[in-house]
Chains A and B, each alone.
Chain A
């Protein structure tokens, strides 16, 4: 386990997230792709903290911010899906091709 391998695993996770977020039609599956991207980012930040940051506490704070971002994204995403579903009965991206109310 060296920094390069940790970063490579993080890059693969992020790439899978990009693939999922771009290819999935369901809103929630799309959000899962974004979650997976943040997952990779967290791993990369953790690896850099452990191997290149000398264990500076601020590096861990960065990871905590990434976790907060993930929680916020999930909460607002779910709320938006509920709102869209209520207004349009849509749970797929194609269901709201136009943003018109």
Chain B
């Protein structure tokens, strides 16, 4: 058993254990940091697998993502610090069975299938090859991922924004006054809630 093997088992057990603890801890903030630990250990395994760039990228990306998640927990969720015991699960038996079946099925595939034996050459410059691939043959894939991330940012802002382009949610459907400073006329509104009292009136 070489040093790499020992390191692999340490990282693998840490990844699985912290992944399991994510759903067993009372604190949601602690859960996000346990998930981060799982990701960091998988990143370390990727480095052992000679995918140094991917491992490092996973490390940096997940650190930021999980800190955002921890902040989100503090902002929105009940019991983020785990001061009270917490059990928020439904269909626990079905979920456990589904998890075990998934693991068993995929594990069976991993053991039974005869994968091609083509290990990566330790002397190969894999990072250079990845860079050439990303800005060469796979550039369209790379650019599409970038544009998709941009679209995601726009969608996330739109979904989470409290106010729309013209004010609050109904503002686009509320008729403006005919003259500047004139009275709002509820009968012109496109939203038919009988002139609800929460509409803003024109005339600033």
CB distance from A30 to the nearest CB of B (A): 10
CB pair A57 B132 closer than 8 Å: yes
CB distance from B53 to the nearest CB of A (A): 7
- Distance of A89 Cα from B91 Cα, bound (Å): 23
Decide yes or no whether B96 CB sits under 8 A from chain A. yes
- Distance of A3 Cα from B102 Cα, bound (Å): 19
Decide yes or no whether B173 CB sits under 8 A from chain A. no
Number of A interface residues, CB 8 Å?
71
Decide yes or no whether B48 CB sits under 8 A from chain A. yes
A9-B12, A42-B42, A61-B133 known; A18 and B102 CB under 8 Å?
A: yes
CB distance from B47 to the nearest CB of A (A): 10
Secondary structure at the A interface, as helix, strand, loop or mixed, is: helix
- Distance of A18 Cα from B103 Cα, bound (Å): 9
CB pair B160 A17 closer than 8 Å: no
CB pair A43 B45 closer than 8 Å: yes
B-side interface size class: 35 or more
CB pair A39 B77 closer than 8 Å: no
CB pair A1 B103 closer than 8 Å: no
CB pair A46 B32 closer than 8 Å: no
Residues of B within 8 A of A49 (CB): 49, 51, 120
Residues of A at the B interface (CB closer than 8 Å) are 1, 3-26, 28-29, 32-33, 35-36, 39, 42-43, 46-55, 57-58, 60-61, 63-65, 67-68, 70-72, 74-76, 78-83, 85-86, 91-94
Instruction: Provide a sorted-by-A list of 30 A–B residue pairs whose CB atoms are within 8 angstroms.
Output: A7-B110, A8-B110, A14-B106, A16-B23, A18-B102, A22-B94, A23-B90, A23-B96, A29-B22, A33-B23, A36-B19, A49-B120, A50-B50, A52-B117, A55-B121, A57-B130, A60-B54, A61-B141, A63-B54, A64-B54, A64-B142, A65-B141, A68-B149, A72-B148, A76-B155, A76-B159, A78-B72, A91-B77, A92-B88, A93-B90
